[in-house]
Chain A
Amino acid sequence: MKYYRSHVLVCVDPECLKKGAHEVEDALQDELVAQGLIDEVQVLETSRIGDCANGPELMVYPEGVHYTNLTPNDIPYLVEEHFLKGRIATKFVQEDKKVIDEELSAPTSKEVRVVLRNCGVIDPENIEDYIAEDGYQALGEVLTEYSPEQVIDIVLRSGLRGRGGAGFPTGKKWQFCRASAETPKYVICNADEGDPGAFMNRRVLEGDPHSVLEGMIIGAYAIGSSQGYIYCRAEYPIAVRTLNIAIKQARNMGLLGKNILGSGFDFDIEVRMGAGAFVCGEETALMASIEGRRGEPRPRPPFPAVKGLFMKPSNINNVETYSNIPQIILRGPEWYASMGTEKSKGTKTFALAGDVKHTGLIEVPFGLTLREIIFDVGGGIKDDKEFKAIQTGGPMGGCLPKEYLDLPMDYEELAKAGSIMGSGGLVVMDEGTCMVDIARFFMEFIQDESCGKCTPCRVGTKRMLEILERICDGKGQEGDIETLEMLCEQIRQDSLCGLGQGAPNPVVSTLKHFRDEYEAHIYEKRCPAKVCKSLIRYEIVEGVCTGCTVCARNCPVTAITGERRQTHVIDPDICIRCGICMQVCNFNAIVIK
């Protein structure tokens, strides 16, 4: 067999041909012969390099250089530069158009991209791209070399824990489901990523759907299921579309459906959409929703592995959990377990949001500290303001102040600190954030999304929200903090599902770390961060104000009075705290108190 040191792919699409691609190819062959290189450099025809508007074009490997706008006359120079002198002939290299991906930038040095490895790199609507990146190779290995028990053992040894938030060991979950005797069994993917600030799953579904499908098929083989569901929230229409395209393409290639890869194993997947209910991310509520009922959780036991969807044994895992499986099979569980901490193995995707310079998706091994994530990977606080707090884990997570910046990301460490890993949303807050307002915010969300089935959550969160709203409105009373603390404890203990049990966390953690802010709101009627509208006043500073009347003329409620060249005054009773006066003042004479 001949070994070439270089391959040249010449595009022969109709548009390139019209521009003379064959003439360029012939000139190339001739020149390579003339230079004695024809045994070292192979010339091949190809299509769809992608830039026919600038054809004729070609790609040279192994460098991966893309040359455009070529004529036969350019070829001698190109061959001399590239193949004889070993230099890229830059005058034919097209400047790549810069595409800014606001969510996913190039990996930073502390990142390890396992789940996100293909996002933004492959075409998610082309299964062949996925296959070219070792896609479905793991499935092939599993179906030809491993028994279901062996697959479960691999997953157990990898230390993979559920990435949806609870962090239950995935291998164990699969074991329980396999052990259940009843059939049929179901494999379910929880793609109801509802945590505000979390969009990792969305990106994987849109950018690398096959990694999820492959993980599900392997899981189905391991537990003995032939039907799977992906429950995807309706707020992700593009993800739903991409998934359906991927499923169709997988079926066409015999990777889904009957007799997968000729192994005799059958498995198919159906996508089900949600209809706008955060609580349907809870596993039993999710299953109720697939069954066509209200998304209300039910008590466990029995667990889904024993009695799940349609009361049959079901395995339900998060998008990210499944997406890790092919890599774990291919590279081995020891590789996966070599990353992370003692109890939290592998990598995790996080979504950085809030007051941080580089918001967006990252993937890091467990063990990295909050400080490293915020300042090294995230670039630090926006506008170089002071860091105040970070909320981890979504609306049922806790807010951690700067004393916790050196906390390593680890399931147990976060729980000890009073927060949770959750799905991976990280909301960074700077000094301009009012922690009471934040707690109120999350409680409002929880109250809105509470399914209403159990009293502690339904009524308890409402009462808590009322108190928090009163406090932010300047009507906080003696005893409010104590009532909040009592409600937190009761709701946590008595709620039926994770939503209710976690609902008090933002309040508990902000009370623990920022109690002084609550007290300032209640006893001093003051908002230290100057956010809560009822507790702030816009004031014009005498001595700085020149009496130019710009603010008075722009005030939408005519709350400002004053003569020309005299210090103006804002009436706090009329002022609606819109901030327009501060924006238009050219002398910085207006401050918030």
Chain B
Amino acid sequence: MTFEQIDSSVIQKSVDEAIQRYGAKQDELIPILSEVNRSIGYLPGEALDEISKQLKLPKSQLFSVASFYRMLSTKPRGRHVIQFCENAPCHIAGGRQVWQALVDELHLEAEENSADGKWSLLTTSCLGICGVGPVMMIDDDIYGNVDPKAVPDILSRYH
């Protein structure tokens, strides 16, 4: 098993803190889900159960919202999440070669996690820094003007 089961107490704490911060109201659902997703790395079923209880919302509704938004994930993610912009302006600036370099280096396709739990390779919608395309984000780090030859070096910075 490469993706460890997250401890229940960790989940409870994350949910409690998020609800404390935003309040137990339906219109705060997305901020709450985003916060929990950020702290745990994704939204485990147990987290949705707990939020459903505290907000008094049906779990189906939570799942419907959690599965709609790209930045929320109900599936585990790797330790490091690579988000690559695959939209037209980055594509025209040479994005295809950078993507190929990522695929070659990681042996992953889009939306896949590496077997050792280290990487998630995702495509993302436009990050709004098209002036420096091709662009990718690893965790919270943004890389612009990415050269395909620089990809192995960039990846090696993450452990």
Residues of A within 8 A of B (CB): 102-103, 193-199, 202, 233-237, 272-278, 289-295, 310, 351, 353-355, 359-361, 391, 395, 425, 427, 429, 433, 438, 441-442, 445, 448-449, 451, 578
Contacts and interface: CB of A to CB of B under 8 A. Distances in A.
Nearest to B83: A235
A370 B48 CA distance: 51
Contact of A292 (B28, B100, B133, B140): B28
B159 interface: no
A28 B8 CA distance: 70
B72 interface: yes
B125 A276 contact: yes
B126 A290 contact: no
Interface in B88-128: 88-93, 100, 124-128
Contacts of B29: 292-293
B154 interface: no
Interface size class of B (residues with CB under 8 A): 35 or more
Q: List 10 A-B pairs, minimum CB-CB distance, nearest first.
A: A276-B70, A196-B87, A292-B29, A276-B71, A275-B69, A353-B89, A196-B126, A199-B128, A197-B89, A103-B131
B125 A194 contact: yes
B138 interface: no
Contact of A236 (B70, B128, B130, B131): B128
Contacts of A441: 87-88, 91
Given A234-B71, A438-B88, A292 B124 contact: no
Given A234-B34, A273-B34, A351-B130, A293 B65 contact: yes
B65 A355 contact: no
B88 A442 contact: yes
A354 B70 contact: no
B69 A295 contact: yes
B30 interface: yes
A590 to B, nearest CB: 17
19 contacts: A102-B144, A196-B126, A197-B87, A197-B88, A202-B128, A234-B71, A235-B125, A235-B128, A272-B31, A275-B71, A277-B70, A289-B30, A353-B89, A353-B93, A359-B131, A391-B88, A425-B130, A438-B88, A445-B88
Interface in B62-76: 64-65, 68-72
A441 B100 CA distance: 17
A276 B31 contact: no
Contacts of A355: 92
A294 B65 contact: yes
A291 B25 CA distance: 10
Given A197-B89, A277-B69, 16 more contacts: A195-B126, A196-B89, A197-B130, A202-B129, A235-B124, A275-B30, A276-B70, A276-B71, A292-B28, A292-B30, A353-B93, A353-B133, A361-B131, A391-B88, A441-B88, A449-B125
B132 interface: yes
A201 to B, nearest CB: 8
A354 B126 contact: no
